[in-house]
Chain A
Amino acid sequence: MVEILTSQVVSGLATGCVYALIALGFVLIFKATDVVNFAQGEFVMVSGFISYTLLVWFGLPYWIVLFATIALSGLMGVGLERLVVRPIMDAPIFSIVIATIGASTVLRSFAGIIYGYDVLPLPTIFSKDPIHLGVLSFTAMDAGVIGFSLAIMLALYLFFKLTKTGMAMRATAQSQTAARLMGVSVTRIFSLTWAISAAVGGVAGVLIAPIIYLDPNLGFIGVKAFAGAILGGFGSIPGAIVGGMLLGVLENLSGYFFNAGIKQVSTYILLILVLVVRPSGLFGAAPVRKV
């Protein structure tokens, strides 16, 4: 019984890590540009298909595919920023958000046209056979997903904390005007933010596609991750990570203790409960009222 419970928690953490990565993508763009990018889920889906193409159509080895997909996803992020967001930079935020929704539909349709709407299995090097460590039970796949996600999050943390570019991004997120005055190229930072967000989405795609099969509607996972980001406090990076992971574990546990119906709504029930008690999310900063 305990073993089954731990395996549920661990696999919940694995899905949670993927939600966390996608949530991170949302928050990064939001912090830097105030835009909510509703095409984030589709970034995940497209990167899943990119890795499928490289693995299956071109037969490249797994590790090359992994890094190539991340790089290509980053490029896709920059592309979207230049094509869709930059031209309407001065429009109200809401218009830009609608444009990202439009982009998500376009990406989904292109995927459908190129690959069809049937569901595709994506091979992975991580095996799904069970491993037992005392009372813990999990699969190499779970461990791989959690491990790799944590590595990426650590890399991002170090990037923001220690590198000059990372610092420039944090400065731009705090105040665009001040950053500009300090000699930061704000437009370049925006492109970089979109690139990183999309690349992080790319990692999420490569990690989750072998677990849940690939199809053009995979992007709807973005909705769950978005809820995770709100849960943790939209605008807080640690919040996005904690929110996402919490969501993953909660889903599995509610499915285990209750049933499939409760599992589906558990995300939103938790969200409502948290927001009622703490309206700015778990880690979000309460808005300061300047009188």
Chain B
Amino acid sequence: MNRLLGSFGVLSALVGLLVLGGSVPARGEDGVTDKEVVLGAGLDLTGAVANWGVNIKGGMEAVFNRVNEAGGVHGRKIRLIAYDHVYQPPKAVTNAKRLVERDKVFAMMGHLGTPTTKAVKDYLEEKQVPNIFPATLASLWTTSGKWHIGDLATYVDQTWLMIDYLVKDRKIRKIASFYQDDEYGLDGHLGGKARLKHHDLTYVAEVDYKRADIDFSSQAAKLKESGAQAVILQAVYREPPRLAEQCHAIGYHPLFIGPSPIVLDKTIELGGKHVEGVIGVEVYPLPTEPGPFLDLYRADMKKYFPNLALDTTNLYGYQKAALFVEALQRNGRNLTRDSLLKSIESIKDWDPGWGLKYSYGGDSRRGMSRSARLVVVKDGKWTKLSDWMELQEGGRK
């Protein structure tokens, strides 16, 4: 008996040593080997904004597939592991832990959703995992320090653009805000409030809705009562068509205008005639425009994802991946998380071939922060309404 206990003790000690030994952090970064670099992505693939998630994933993978076929970047292929968070923050946290601790990803790439990405923010910082080009244009990412780096103009910038357009170009002074009651909607909504103050105005109505809500008849009623001539929609793609339909059903026809998440074909598909005339903000060109970069995008999407229709959604993912590949190129063979961030920051005045330039450097945590233009739904298609504009520096107050 004593002999048995004794051997058991030795065995446990051995196992203990092995476990301890194995958990000593290895030299070199997680997610980078000689042959590949592994990226993680938390996306909504089956939930309320699944259209964005599925397409962003497709766009990113189209670039990575092409690059991998040509041998990778500096001999390393890029592998993307994506998990579904259904646009729910708690799930996003579980997935992030899985990606970082079990899959040992090098960086989080294109994480979708403002509330969901905010939920994993502290965790990623604690683990020192870079949050590259998250699929959320909240202004939060521009002020969160070194581990977060964005790509395009924020919702606050976009809302400033919308308000200036309404007040100066359309001479509209009765403006209401319809916004998602979470970090996403609040970003643009509060930014807009500050901009209105600059014009000596306030919102005539501030009407919110809960993420994934499907009925807005009470919101429509309140908006109509306020007499708003224009309604700014801090929403995604299910809400604008539904809201427009319910407003029209009570005889109310305001001008609807919203930021980049509403600019996709799904909005038009769901809204039909009710979304004619809706204005959106674009922060990168339409997928149908000419140019070498967009030609490449169209060819890659056709080759790797022929079942995904060309849309702003997959172009969004595509440009993120292209930007990442450029950063990898500049980085060279010695790849660490710090060196990747430095390489991204070194990108200045880089035009991938569509006439707009990415510029990082200094405090700028987003590459194409100054470019935006207005588009409008005309005859069932998103059409150019204005030229590319330089945005002012926004920010929440």
- B270 an interface residue at 8 Å Cβ cutoff? yes
B292 to chain A, nearest CB (A): 31
Report whether B46 and A112 are in contact in the complex, using a CB–CB cutoff of 8 Å.
yes
Report whether A255 and B218 are in contact in the complex, using a CB–CB cutoff of 8 Å.
yes
Report the Cα distance A199→B164, complex, angstroms: 53
Report whether B181 and A256 are in contact in the complex, using a CB–CB cutoff of 8 Å.
no
Report whether A118 and B217 are in contact in the complex, using a CB–CB cutoff of 8 Å.
no
- B225 an interface residue at 8 Å Cβ cutoff? yes
Task: Return the chain B residue nearest A257 by Cβ.
Answer: B218
Interface centre among A3, A137, A216, A256 (most CB of B within 10 A): A256
A43 to chain B, nearest CB (A): 19
Number of A-B contacts (CB under 8 A): 87
| Cβ contacts under 8 Å, A255 to chain B | 215, 217-219
B270 to chain A, nearest CB (A): 5
| Cβ contacts under 8 Å, A12 to chain B | 217
- B250 an interface residue at 8 Å Cβ cutoff? yes
Report whether B51 and A118 are in contact in the complex, using a CB–CB cutoff of 8 Å.
yes
Hey, what's the 0/1 contact readout for B167-185 against A, CB within 8 Å counting as 1?
Answer: 0000000000000010000
Task: Return the chain B residue nearest A128 by Cβ.
Answer: B249
Report whether A118 and B47 are in contact in the complex, using a CB–CB cutoff of 8 Å.
no
Report the Cα distance A12→B209, complex, angstroms: 17
Q: In A225-253, which residues have CB < 8 Å from any B CB?
A: 251-253
The answer to whether A137 and B50 touch (CB under 8 A), given A212-B215, A213-B270, is no
Hey, what's the 0/1 contact readout for A252-291 against B, CB within 8 Å counting as 1?
Answer: 1111100111011000000000000000000000000000
- A117 an interface residue at 8 Å Cβ cutoff? yes
Interface centre among B221, B225, B242, B272 (most CB of A within 10 A): B221
Report whether B245 and A261 are in contact in the complex, using a CB–CB cutoff of 8 Å.
no
The residue that A256 contacts in the complex, of B46, B222, B249, with Cβ under 8 A, is: B222
On chain B, the number of residues with a Cβ less than 8 Å from chain A's Cβ atoms is: 32
Q: In A7-27, which residues have CB < 8 Å from any B CB?
A: 7-8, 11-12, 15
Hey, what's the 0/1 contact readout for B234-253 against A, CB within 8 Å counting as 1?
Answer: 00001000100100111100
- A121 an interface residue at 8 Å Cβ cutoff? yes
Report whether B225 and A4 are in contact in the complex, using a CB–CB cutoff of 8 Å.
yes
Task: Return the chain A residue nearest B217 by Cβ.
Answer: A11
B368 to chain A, nearest CB (A): 28
Report whether A261 and B181 are in contact in the complex, using a CB–CB cutoff of 8 Å.
yes
Report whether B245 and A128 are in contact in the complex, using a CB–CB cutoff of 8 Å.
yes
Report whether B270 and A121 are in contact in the complex, using a CB–CB cutoff of 8 Å.
yes
Task: Return the chain B residue nearest A258 by Cβ.
Answer: B218
Report whether A128 and B221 are in contact in the complex, using a CB–CB cutoff of 8 Å.
no
| Cβ contacts under 8 Å, B204 to chain A | none
Report the Cα distance A251→B218, complex, angstroms: 9
- B200 an interface residue at 8 Å Cβ cutoff? no
A218 to chain B, nearest CB (A): 9
Report whether A8 and B269 are in contact in the complex, using a CB–CB cutoff of 8 Å.
no
Report whether B250 and A4 are in contact in the complex, using a CB–CB cutoff of 8 Å.
yes
A269 to chain B, nearest CB (A): 15
Report the Cα distance A128→B221, complex, angstroms: 15
Report whether B219 and A260 are in contact in the complex, using a CB–CB cutoff of 8 Å.
yes
Report whether B46 and A128 are in contact in the complex, using a CB–CB cutoff of 8 Å.
no
Q: In A141-169, which residues have CB < 8 Å from any B CB?
A: 141
- A90 an interface residue at 8 Å Cβ cutoff? no
Hey, what's the 0/1 contact readout for B144-188 against A, CB within 8 Å counting as 1?
Answer: 000000000000000000000000000000000000010000000
- A176 an interface residue at 8 Å Cβ cutoff? no
B181 to chain A, nearest CB (A): 6
Report whether A212 and B214 are in contact in the complex, using a CB–CB cutoff of 8 Å.
yes
Hey, what's the 0/1 contact readout for B243-282 against A, CB within 8 Å counting as 1?
Answer: 0010011110000000000000010011010000000000
Task: Return the chain A residue nearest B274 by Cβ.
Answer: A128
- A130 an interface residue at 8 Å Cβ cutoff? yes
- A105 an interface residue at 8 Å Cβ cutoff? no
B276 to chain A, nearest CB (A): 15
Report whether B269 and A7 are in contact in the complex, using a CB–CB cutoff of 8 Å.
no
Report whether B248 and A121 are in contact in the complex, using a CB–CB cutoff of 8 Å.
no
Hey, what's the 0/1 contact readout for B35-64 against A, CB within 8 Å counting as 1?
Answer: 000000000011100110010000000000
Report whether A117 and B45 are in contact in the complex, using a CB–CB cutoff of 8 Å.
yes
A213 to chain B, nearest CB (A): 6
Return 21 A-B CB contacts under 8 Å, by A number. A7-B249, A8-B221, A11-B249, A117-B46, A118-B266, A119-B266, A121-B272, A128-B245, A130-B250, A130-B251, A137-B250, A141-B249, A212-B242, A213-B214, A213-B242, A255-B215, A260-B207, A260-B209, A260-B219, A261-B208, A261-B210
Partner-A contacts on B (CB < 8 A):
45-47, 50-51, 54, 181, 207-210, 213-215, 217-219, 221-222, 224-225, 238, 242, 245, 248-251, 266, 269-270, 272
Partner-B contacts on A (CB < 8 A):
1, 3-4, 7-8, 11-12, 15, 112, 117-119, 121, 128-130, 137, 139, 141, 212-213, 216-217, 251-256, 259-261, 263-264
Please list the 6 inter-chain residue pairs (A to B) with the smallest Cβ-Cβ separation, ordered nearest first: A255-B218, A117-B46, A256-B218, A212-B214, A117-B50, A4-B221
